[in-house]
Amino acid sequence: MSDTRHPEEWQGIQEQMQQWRRDLHRLPELGLYVPETSLYVQSVLGELGVPFHTLLDGNAVVGLIEGAGPGKCIALRADMDGLPVRKETGLPFASTNGNMHACGHDGHMAMLLGAAAWLVTHRESFTGSIKLLFQPAEESPGGAKPMIEAGCLENPHVDAVFGLHAGAISTELPEETVGFRSGPLMAAVDKLQIVVQGKGGHAAYPQTTVDPITLAAELVLALQTLVSREKSPFDPLVLSITCINGGRGMNVIPDSVELLGTVRTMNPETRVWLARRIREVSEQLAASRGAAVEIKHDFIYPALFNDKSLTALAMAAARKVLGEQRVYELTEPVMGGEDFAFLAEAVPGVYAFQYSMASTDGEIYPHHTSRFDIDEASFSEGARLHVQVALDFLGAVDA
């Protein structure tokens, strides 16, 4: 079977990936509107000789590398969007537009372009085809689902999908390893908004009001008992109220208070149950105080489940690239969310974590912070892993 061990060739690709990453790092864009990022990816694919087309008004890019003959099709996915974070790393290629690639998506794109650079020059070594999915809006509002609806998994039909996240998404993951987990890997993501509607008035006469602030405080505590007292501790579940808005003056009880938060679950049944119980507890508590509530509970991303057989294949591919000792089997899922889950619902999928953190001023900073950085030296291994997973899935002929 073919493998990816071509040191001199990969050295040249590594240098390209570093430059691509730095170019992309300078122009982080947000959400579904990433025109400059998309144009850059299109330009590189064109230079590599990879056919491509765009979706979502030009903000998503789908490349296609066809092998020596017909066969299966695997998709490799990289997200493209940045975050509204002002960069403080001091890097010479730092962005200046007030946004930042603070989650490693610049590295994801560079690694997928690196994989494309290798695959397009070795297309005679495999049969079938490999799709390259460059997706906007992983952070928000989600780009995978609209890409699927626009046909990214068809023509040719995709039989499997692989994705890799750089950095240190799982705190369990040892340094210089790649982590895999069959089954549930990342949580479903819900957005929660509760508006407590009371009756405002003078703070000196609270008996003439229906105080939404005290009710909101009660509600925050009551909702936590749903997690700690109504569900098994072995059923992963997080309910976090993260923002409270209400009132403007020290002597005025407001009419309403807004609560914002998020819910994370692994079990689809638990997700539905919790949405129902949040509504029941909120409405009943409000009614007991003569108030009312308006609840908006949106299911954003489903939980990400890795296919069992595809996970085994990807782990075997990783051992070829990294060696046995650097392939790690995660024991626990993480409660972060990832809209790769939509792709893995549509076709068998596997998503993996690559530890590739870089220090800023001698310290490691987490994802979504202003000093987050990734190790560019890891790109070669990440790109090779994309390639090896694709080759092994397609049953590559000898190179």
Residues in CB range of 177: below 8 A, 6 or more apart:
322, 326, 327, 328, 355
How far is residue 222 from each of residues 182, 269, 279, 296, measured CA to CA in Å? 35, 21, 12, 18
205 is an active site residue:
no
9 is an active site residue:
no
Distance CA 239, CA 48 (A): 46
One-letter amino acid at 105 equals H
What one-character DSSP code corresponds to residue 253?
E
Q: Which of 36, 172, 345, 376 is catalytic?
A: 376
- The helix (H) or strand (E) run that includes residue 135 is strand 129-135
Q: Tally the C-alpha atoms within 13 A of residue 60's C-alpha that lie toward its C-beta.
A: 26
What CA dihedral angle connects 358, 92, 78 and 238, to 10 degrees? 50
Distance CA 316, CA 322 (A): 10
Q: CB–CB of 106/10 below 8 Å?
A: no
DSSP one-letter string for 60-112: EEEEEEE-SS---EEEEEEE---BS----S--TT---SS-B--SSHHHHHHHH
Q: Which two tokens stand for residue 62?
A: 């789908």
- The helix (H) or strand (E) run that includes residue 9 is helix 7-25
Q: Which two tokens stand for residue 298?
A: 């949106």
Q: CB–CB of 187/238 below 8 Å?
A: yes
**Bridge pairing between strands 73-79 and 160-167:** parallel
**Bridge pairing between strands 349-355 and 160-167:** parallel
Q: Which of 40, 301, 351, 365 is catalytic?
A: 301
Active site residues: 301, 376
